[in-house]
Amino acid sequence: MGADSTFSIQDIPFSCRGSWFGISPVIAQDTYADHLHLVSHQSGMHPVLRFEVRGDPAVVATPAMLSWHGEGGRIDLVFEGSDTIRIRGEHLGLRIAAAAAELTPFSGTYLYHDPVDGAHVFTSYETGRRYRITVLAGDVAGSAGVQLLGAGERHVDLPAGADWEISIMEYEAGRSPYSADATFEQAAHAARTRFATFADAVAPWRSERTPAAELAAYVVWSATVAPSGFVTRPAVLMSKHWMDKVWSWDHCFNAIALAAGDPELAWHQFQLPFDHQDPSGALPDSVTHSEVLYNFVKPPIHGWALARLREQTPLDRQQLSEAYQRISRWTQFWLTHRRVPGHELAHYQHGNDSGWDNATAFDDERLLETADLAAFLVTQSRELAVLADDLDEPGAARRWTDIADRMRAALLEQLWDGNAFTARSAVTGQPLSSTSLLAFLPLVLGDELPAEIVDQLTAALRSHLTGHGLATEPVSSPHYTADGYWRGPIWAPSTVLIEDGLRRAEQTELADEISRRFRTLCETSGFAENFDAETGTGLRDRAYTWTASSYLILAAAHERRHAGLQ
């Protein structure tokens, strides 16, 4: 795939780095419209404008340009910048209509004709933004609903049978009228160059052995937004479909994928949830343009992730200090607020805290001391000890090492039953077992686990391995559900965490097999939120960045090994 290679607009929205909107038929969760829409992700996901082309035009999407082909003509659309699109028509007409059919004092889209520059302007209550249509060539064929209140059609028509060109510029309350500084061809060339530069930076290793690398790069690039609202830094959303948030563990995989090629953007991804760390040290569940949610947390994989970042890009002393302070507070949250008095092990309060919302591990009890959580805290404490040493704080390094040692001992003594890792009720102390893949995540400890435990886990792990990768529930389990979220489908984060742990435990054969199957899955089925473990079909949101980033992580490592660099 290059800047002119195609992808399915049904699966992946057309957008660009920095923009808060995209062009897509997906206008709500699992809702596909007949026409493409300009869909904003400010103040939530909102379809603002509908693009209607008569007939049944073929839609062709590439990273640089979106086109409609039909009725003897074509329409091309490019992003001139993060807030401006250029649209050019050749003998094909276009109607640009408000997506909302009714205007009220609290909802809908208003259309007016600006007497200052003659532009038509749609102003959206839901996004709090205006969308100025400026004619650059040709003329408007007509309009409807100008200054209309209440219910009714509001649209602007561009003519069929003629050539025309417009811009649509998103802005807040006031902005100078649009003036073109480049031709359409120049804008299209600049768009190609911006994406190609990014792809070359984050996936310079790509080859015929990694055929999905450029599409993965596009999914990440196009889902990146500029700082706005509660998003304090340039941020990679999970998707520019309905999963348009940054969750406080998803961001780690995006950061790792970006680290070697775009270390500044990677650092922003890692730090963003920490910008909203609460007084207790907890990270929010999620951050988006207009809300920060603290109803749940997410698992403390941040020490593991920082170690992976540092393998790829150096951090200066200020960055190390900032990371140390923030991850220390995050770890203390678990040790202080999520441990029953007298218990060494911390607990989740709900499956959502683990990131594995409805996994079978939480069927009988929600408040659980689990092996994955203990393993993450061991790993995080070890990384804090390393950071403390780097920052010349030997006393702190010894304290974090002691915490890690005690947590590891409790994990092995209290949650290993001789055959598998179990969980324990934080309320009753009752041991609980399940067939969830969650119980294998202590493999993230790698060679810090006793060799005999690694061998047993590695052998048992094969019961989860399908032709496409690691099922979160074995397909033979009575609890397995093909589209059951964490009760069967294959997910990117569990794949990356386990593959990494196996490799560090020198279980390279199985690690290679898991990497190969997941990479092949993405090359065949794209970058869905998760995948049917038996068929490999992509499920849920089909443009999920942590899936794309996980492919980039695994593919980059595979190419390094192929080149003898790892």
Q: What is the pLDDT of residue 71?
A: 81
Q: What angle do CA 511, 514, 515 make, to 5 degrees?
A: 85
Q: Are residues 209 and 185 in the same domain?
A: no
| Residue 563, pLDDT score | 84
Are 547 and 533 spatial neighbours (Cβ–Cβ below 8 Å)? no
φ, ψ of residue 419 to 5 degrees: the values are -130, -30
- Is the pLDDT confidence value at 285 over 90? yes
Rounded CA separation 187/397 (Å): 53
Q: Same domain for 173 and 255?
A: no
> Is 135 in the same domain as 260?
no
pLDDT of residue 4: 66
Give me the pLDDT at residue 241, please. 97
7 in any annotated domain: no
- The structure's pTM equals 0.96
237 and 344: one domain? yes
Of 193, 227, 246, the domain-final residue = 193
Q: Span 435-443, mean pLDDT? A: 98
pLDDT at 107 over 90: yes
What's residue 562's pLDDT? 86
Percent of the chain whose pLDDT exceeds 70? 99
| pLDDT mean across residues, the chain | 96
**DSSP character for 23?**
E
pLDDT at 565: 76
Model confidence at 417, pLDDT cuts 50, 70, 90, reads very high
In a domain, 395, yes or no: yes
Average pLDDT over residues 371-386: 98
Residue 566 has pLDDT above 70, yes or no: no
Q: Is residue 26 part of a domain?
A: no
Q: Give 2's pLDDT tier (boundaries 50, 70, 90).
A: low
Q: What does the pLDDT average to over 67-80?
A: 95
Shared-domain flag, residues 234 and 373: yes
Categorize the per-residue pLDDT at 564 as very low, low, confident or very high, splitting at 50, 70 and 90.
confident
Q: What is the CATH number of the domain that holds 217?
A: 1.50.10.10
What percent of the chain lies above the pLDDT cut of 90? 95
Q: Which of 243-247, 406-410, 425-429, 562-566 has the lowest mean pLDDT?
A: 562-566
Q: What is the domain range of residue 63?
A: 36-193
Residue 187: in which H helix or E strand, if any?
Answer: helix 184-202
232 and 309 part of one domain = yes
Helix H, strand E, coil C: the string for 217-277 is: HHHHHHCEECCECCECCCEECCCCCCCCCEECCHHHHHHHHHCCCCHHHHHHHHHHHHHHC
Q: Is 13 part of any domain?
A: no
> Checking phi first, is residue 77 left (phi over 0); if not, alpha (psi -120 to 50) or beta?
beta
Residues 434 and 384 in one domain: yes
Domain boundary among 193, 211, 228: 193
Task: Give a yes or no: residue 42 inside a domain.
Answer: yes
- Angle among Cα 218, 220, 225 to the nearest 5 degrees reads 115
- Which of 162, 193, 224 is the endpoint of a domain? 193
Residue 1 has pLDDT above 60, yes or no: no
Q: Is the pLDDT of residue 36 over 80?
A: yes
Sign of the Cα torsion 418, 424, 429, 433 reads negative
Is 416 found in the same domain as 462?
yes
* Same domain assignment for residues 330 and 437: yes
Residues 95 and 211 both lie in one domain: no
Task: Answer whether residue 339 is part of any domain.
Answer: yes
- The answer to whether residue 1 is domain-embedded is no
Give the mean model confidence (pLDDT) for residues 558-564. 90
In a domain, 318, yes or no: yes
Same domain, 222 and 277: yes
pLDDT tens-digit readout, 311-323:
999 999 999 999 9
Task: Give the integer Cα–Cα distance in Å for 52 and 54.
Answer: 6
How many domains would you assign to the chain?
Answer: 2
Mean pLDDT across 214-231: 98
439 with 522, same domain: the answer is yes
pLDDT, residue 148, reads 95
